[in-house]
Structure 1
Amino acid sequence: MIGVFFNRSVSPVNLILLYTSDFKGPHHVRISGRRFQHMRSVHKAQVGERFRVGVLNGLIGLGEVTVLTDQYLELRVQLNQAPPKPLPLRLIMALPRPKMLKRTLETVATLGVKELWLINSYRVDKSYWSTPILHADTLREHLLLGLEQAGDTRLPNVYLRKRFKPFVEDELPAIARNTRALVAHPYDATPCPAATAEPTTLAIGPEGGFIAYEVNKLREAGLEPIHLGPRILRVETAVPVLLSRLFPLAL
């Protein structure tokens, strides 16, 4: 019976992420909470309707609603596809202001980034490090929203570094080793290189950019400054533009 219903149409919605705790059997899951409310109120889920589903950090497939109540719904699922390939990227970003951080987390997860380092910089306000968005549960929530949008299941790893110099001197050289190592900087830089699938380390500064001292330290760690042209972009715009320029669309 499992293979039969997947020949029928599927609701064109974002991926429904499943967790191992949802499974009541090999092909049977129960969903409650935020995901249930979203499927019920936004997607108007009905018994017999099919949705794209995927297990967090696992396979993707399809699920058919078999039970619908006021508190939960149940799906019969078949998981047989690998998630999209991750970008071969280690992304290093000066911590954005909180409002922008939410969007940035969702954007990088949507674009396939799996390793994100949030670091300090001279132009990062100290208050940014106190935002509740950096709490583990909230970080995870925004990353999951990005995965759902992209139809991906692999959760990115996020690392926080509150001191710029120790990170750049003690950790960054090893992170950048054997990769195409770049720092986005609008001045005294070469044009953005052509798209390639090679492993890459990319550093992006705060609003206003890295100061000269920081750029020099990043150079010493092996990163080459690059630019996107004469226009100065906001961080939330620069991230997708840079990634679309640096990596093939078919990756």
Structure 2
Amino acid sequence: MNLALIQDTDIVSRSGDVLRACLSGRQHEHIVKIQKLGPGRELQVGLLNGNMGRALIYEQDNTSTHIEVTLSQEPPPPNPIRLILALPRPLMLKRVLQTATSMGVKDIHLIHSNKVEKSYWQSPQLGDEELHEQLLLGLEQGVDTQLPNIIKHPRFRPFAEDILPSLIDGKNAFVAHPSPDADLAQPTEDETYLAIGPEGGFTDYEIEKLQAAGMKALSLGPRILRVETAVPVLLAKLS
């Protein structure tokens, strides 16, 4: 945890840019057992969807850490990449969401694909609370406060035909696909949509639909990478 995140429910009082908050649960345990910080010590904090700053621990007990915070630092700029991701298996989804969030991605579209098990869409890992927890972990790791948006699209064809064309209109848009005529990943500062398929890749039909909507094939070379590897590699190369 490189940044302690304060949520509205943690705030005890507030006056201008200075607030007092009470951290408990996982964050309190980390402060005490990992960072080994107590009263009189400082730590880096951020207000969820707000500014960041330094916090002074003014009180601590067995269950909570009480801090006084001055929020004067803006969070880092968002990553220009918008991620379109074929729903991974649940355990991989947790890692991918944390990684993408820590790298500054602010829009994540989870879509269906022929190679995605339908049962994945019923996984408890897709619950709002579970997704929120993974995003918080990613923000803490990446020292950021701005929560990403996650949009779920459990049907591929309606997404590709009805939603995607307007979503990417006038923007860079790529689908990771190792075809001979694919572009090589290059850095960009422009808003860009990036689609990454499931293990084994999108089907030919799905590639045709994505390209018909306006996406171009993008390649990392001849090697086939796992989703959890492809996501950070492509994000790093593009941004």
Please report the TM-score for the alignment, with normalisation by the length of structure 1: 0.91
1:154 pairs with 137, 140, 146, which one?
146
The one of 1, 13, 25 equivalent to 2:13 is: 25
Give 1:199's match in structure 2, choosing from 169, 191, 194: 191
AA at the equivalent of 1:100: M
Q: What are the ranges of 5 or more consecutive residues in structure 1 without an aligned counterpart? A: 1-12
Deviation at 1:194, TM superposition (A): 2.0
Q: How many Å separate the matches in 1 of 2:155 and 2:228? A: 23
Query: Which one of the candidate residues 204, 208, 227 is aligned to 1:235?
Result: 227
Cα pair 2:85 2:195 within 8 Å, conserved: yes
Contact 2:185 2:219 in 1 (8 A): no
Please identify, of 64-73 and 188-197, the stretch whose mean Cα deviation from structure 2 is larger: 188-197
SS in 1 for 2:160: helix
User: Paired residue for 2:3, among 15, 26, 29?
Assistant: 15
Q: For the Cα contact (< 8 Å) 1:168–1:217, is it kept in 2?
A: yes
SS in 2 for 1:34: helix
One-letter amino acid matched to 2:220 = L
Separation in 2 of the partners of 1:147 and 1:234? 23
Superposition deviation, residue 29 in structure 1: 1.2
What residue in structure 2 maps to residue 220 of structure 1? 212
Pairwise CA RMSD of aligned residues?
1.1
CA offset at residue 183 of structure 1? 0.4
Q: TM-score, normalised by structure 2?
A: 0.95
Match of 2:42 among 20, 37, 50: 50
Opposite residue 174 of structure 2, the aligned amino acid is L
Higher mean C-alpha displacement, 15-24 vs 199-208? 15-24
Contact 1:192 1:246 in 2 (8 A): no
Offset of 1:37 from its aligned partner? Answer: 2.0
Distance 2:9 2:122 in 1: 32
Displacement after TM superposition at 1:75 (Å): 0.6
Given that residues 42 and 57 in structure 2 are in contact (C-alpha distance below 8 angstroms), is that contact kept between their aligned partners in structure 1?
yes
In the alignment, is the contact (CA less than 8 A) between 1:103 and 1:236 conserved in 2?
Answer: yes
Post-superposition, which runs of at least 4 consecutive aligned residues in structure 1 deviate over 6 A?
none
User: Which deviates more, 59-68 or 184-193?
Assistant: 184-193
- Listed one character per residue, the Cα deviations across residues 194-223 of structure 1 (whole Å, up to 9, x for unaligned) are 211011011100000001000000011000
- Gaps in structure 2 of 5+ consecutive residues: none
Tell me if the contact between 1:192 and 1:227 (Cα under 8 Å) persists in the aligned partners. yes
Contact 1:188 1:225 in 2 (8 A): no
Compute the displacement of 1:191 (Å): 3.1
Distance 2:78 2:11 in 1: 26
Deviations along 1:101-128, whole A, 9 cap, x unmatched? 1100100100100000000000001111
Deviation for aligned residue 1:21: 2.4
